[in-house]
Amino acid sequence: MSSDTPNGTSSVNSVNPNAERVVESDKVWTTLITNTEYLSGLLTLDASLKFAGSKYPLVALYTDTFPQEGKDALDQRKIPRKHIPYLLPKTYKDFTNDPRFYDCWSKLTPFSLVEYERVVQLDSDMLVLQNMDELMDISLDGREEAGQAQHGEPEKAQVEGMPSDHGITMPNGGLQVVVPCPEVYEKISNALQDEKTMSYDFSDQSLLGDVFHGRWVALPYVYNALKTLRWKGVHDPIWRDDRVKNIHYILSPKPWDENEADKKKQERDGSNQWWWDVHERRLKEERAIGIDDGF
């Protein structure tokens, strides 16, 4: 992608043409929303941040595919929103069997939000269990120590992540701590034009792992605790319920899509109930002020 101004500014402007804050804060949480299927997740994520006492707002990044009823639901709850273009690379892998990966390219947008000093991108199928505002100030310098598998040092795993060049060397894009920057976004923009994207199995995550190989900083699992890590035989040796700050409900069904049979399956770990507890508290508080739109 060509640039008309120094430091790649035009490529940032093309994806962020209105670089104006939608909130006063210079640091924000963001989450991508493209349809109403994930709206209950987003609303409960927002509530969980507030219940945890975060002093930073959540901004919903929505695309043209997000309907008016969804925008109305956000507005009723005073959740700030920003329209963003739907990002796709020039050529990309066929994700027909898992179409959610088409949406995932747009999760690269926070790198272009230069109106903010820091952006922490969250997936809408997350739930904040403890305040994690420290991510707005945490150092993003690289680690010097190499790490080994963490099962033997579970206490260390609560406060340190694995080195970015360990294992599959690819970040999980569910949570990203980003300092928006024209130069950095230019690298991402250029990568989106490369035919190499045809080989990426995990869209945005694969791109970030490739473009910034060995240069990203891994956070402790407690900030992006995949629900499956808690399962017996996965990574339960390091999991601590009381240390987890943010749980990520990967895979289907999502908590808000559960039927009675699904709920019985979840009895093996019970983590979905955490989501329902926050969701029901949110609904109770919303109904008390006259919001009852089914989301």
- Per-residue pLDDT tens over the stretch 11-37: 688 889 889 999 999 999 999 999 999
Classify residue 111: in a domain, yes or no: yes
Give the whole-angstrom CA distance, residue 228 versus residue 226: 5
Classify residue 126: in a domain, yes or no: yes
Classify residue 278: in a domain, yes or no: no
- Per-residue pLDDT tens over the stretch 218-271: 899 999 999 999 998 999 999 999 999 999 999 888 999 987 677 666 655 689
- Per-residue pLDDT tens over the stretch 90-105: 887 676 766 666 788 8
Q: What percent of the chain shows pLDDT beyond 70?
A: 82
Range of the domain at 110: 6-251
> Model pTM?
0.85
Give the whole-angstrom CA distance, residue 295 versus residue 291: 10
What domain count does the chain have? Answer: 1
Residue 30, strand partner residues: 59, 121
For the record, the structure tokens of 137 come out as: 């100030």
For the record, the structure tokens of 117 come out as: 């000093």
Classify residue 220: in a domain, yes or no: yes
Classify residue 170: in a domain, yes or no: yes
- Span of 9-13, 169-173, 215-219, 248-252 with lowest mean pLDDT: 9-13
Classify residue 212: in a domain, yes or no: yes
Decide: residue 47, CB within 10 A, 0-12 exposed, 13-18 middle, 19+ buried.
buried
Classify residue 284: in a domain, yes or no: no
| First vs last C-alpha separation in the chain | 40
Residue 60: which pLDDT band, with cuts at 50, 70 and 90? very high
CATH number at residue 231: 3.90.550.10
Classify residue 283: in a domain, yes or no: no
